A and B are shown apart, each in its own frame.
Chain A
Amino acid sequence: MSTLRRALLILAPWGAIVLAWYAIHYSGLVPPALVPTPHAVAKRFWQLAQDRLPKDVLVSTGRVFVGVTLGIALAVPVGFVLGWYRGARAFIDPLLNFFRALPPIALIPLVIVYLGIGEAAKVAILFYASFFSGVVVMYEGIAQMSPIYVRVARTLGASDGEIFRRVIVPLAVPHMLTALRVALGVAWATLVASELIAAQQGLGSLIQNAASFFQLDIIYVGIICIGLIALAMDLALRAIARRLVAWQDRIA
């Protein structure tokens, strides 16, 4: 397939969405005031880009970064232990599923009570979301690890420490990367909720402020920015994964 054809195929669905968007605006089925045109949104984007948008993007990305980093830093060891020790799983699994099911938005009042309305509260929500999504990916990956590699290493004379360093860690890396990707996706999806907590800056607060003034075009700008940044991060992570775990049959 030529590069041009590939590029066209990748762009086609996006083009289709923009066309459908125009179609809805001009169809008369919806009052046009409720659906700003793509070019109106683009114009607003340009305007905001010279104003508060860069700062919003920076602040939100920073929050997601800290939340995900902390969440994954805990999810990897916890997920590993749960995956490795089958005994532990029976007790911990229901607990994990209980907490994983709680919508972060429902926790906001409690977070405000315990952590106040500062940065810590916002990051805590993102941490919560990334930890519980990451830990499940991690422990299911570890639990499905084939025991044969450990047995082979033992027959070659490997000690426990060598088995951990030379067999288990390399086998765990792909699961860590997957956990990181899932956590990032969930964290971006939770961002607006976390910025419900008295945020002055950030894409979530941009959207909420705009909602109070019925500025639909700004809401669209905020949503599209979140989607695009999450997409860019995922693509970057995938590129890193492809290099780091080139040995895998397929990259998830």
Chain B
Amino acid sequence: MSIVFDHVRVDFDTPTGPMSVVDDVSFAIEDGEFVSVIGPSGCGKTTMMNIVAGFVRPTSGAVLLDAKPVTAPGPDRGVIFQEYGVFPWLTVRENIAFGLKLAANRVPAAERDEIVRRYMGLMGLADFAVAWPKTLSGGMRQRLALARAYAVKPRFLLMDEPFGALDAQTRSAMQDLLLEVLRAEGKTVMLITHSVEEAVYLSNRIVVMTARPTRIREIVDVPSGSAREELGELRAHVRDVVMKEYAAQVQQATRMSD
């Protein structure tokens, strides 16, 4: 149960010729690990996640799930998007049940109800079973998206800046909830973020990416049970590296606009 990036390279076709977005990225996310990918915005982090999710094919190289290359999206990989993507035409309960009614992971009605009830409870949505998403706050929508992804029992959780649109309070509550849920049901997680705090707080390892075309700048281990000062130093170090890449990205943008 691992995700392996094997010399992944992605070029996008643009009117001015191919543009290199991801340049020879290799690393592995081991079973049960929580790995954050951090880097300047627009560097190609989301493209990396989209390859794992099965939405983008690498130009060369491959992403391997248990040694098999990814070719299409599938229910073994739950994806959490920044814009939630909860289905507005379904109630909270129907949203969570959506995946369980598909041929790919159909379960008997009684079991489905049980799973739906369980995740509504876990995500604090039990009182909103028949509510329309339009009546929910941003944090609740993201919890709903998480419940819906969890319901089909994915082995991997891919998250693209999932808490970016939330206010600071809700964001930190969501981070704690995520850790709690992961303690209850472990997943192998890849989180795309631009927040150093978030990456250090949640991950076992942090992959710092460079400006576009993105490469791995550095992989930082976050030792579990680290002391406060240690974590502080780690944060400062990651922030330092990330800021340098931001600066490089800004320079690149200026050059392009000249």
Contact = CB atoms under 8 A, between A and B. Distances in A.
Counting chain A CB atoms within 10 Å of each CB, the highest count among B74, B87, B90, B145 belongs to B87
Contacts of A152: 79, 81, 85, 87, 145
A24 interface: no
B53 interface: yes
A155 B75 contact: yes
B43 to A, nearest CB: 21
A167 B81 CA distance: 17
A158 B104 CA distance: 7
A173 B90 CA distance: 13
A251 to B, nearest CB: 12
A172 to B, nearest CB: 10
8 contacts: A148-B81, A154-B72, A155-B77, A156-B104, A157-B102, A159-B104, A170-B90, A173-B89
Contacts of B98: 153, 156, 166
Pairs A-B, 3 closest by C-beta atoms: A157-B104, A157-B75, A156-B99
Contacts of A148: 81, 83, 85
A51 interface: no
Interface in B70-118: 72-75, 77-79, 81, 83, 85, 87-90, 98-99, 101-105
A198 interface: no
By CB atoms of chain B within 10 A, which of A155, A158, A245 has the most? A155
A162 interface: yes
Given A152-B79, A155-B77, A247-B132, A170 B99 contact: no
Contacts of A245: 89
A151 interface: yes
Interface residues of B, number: 31
Contacts of A162: 102-103
B87 A154 contact: no
Contacts of A153: 98
B152 interface: yes
B134 interface: yes
A8 interface: no
Interface in A26-48: none
B55 interface: yes
Interface string B49-79: 0000111000000000000000011110111
Given A155-B77, A166-B98, A247 B85 contact: no
Interface in A135-173: 148-149, 151-159, 162, 166-167, 170-171, 173
Nearest to B86: A152
Given A152-B87, A249-B88, 11 more contacts: A149-B87, A151-B73, A151-B79, A154-B54, A155-B54, A155-B78, A156-B105, A156-B148, A157-B105, A246-B132, A247-B134
Listed residue (B74, B89, B152) with the most chain A CB atoms within 10 angstroms of its CB: B89
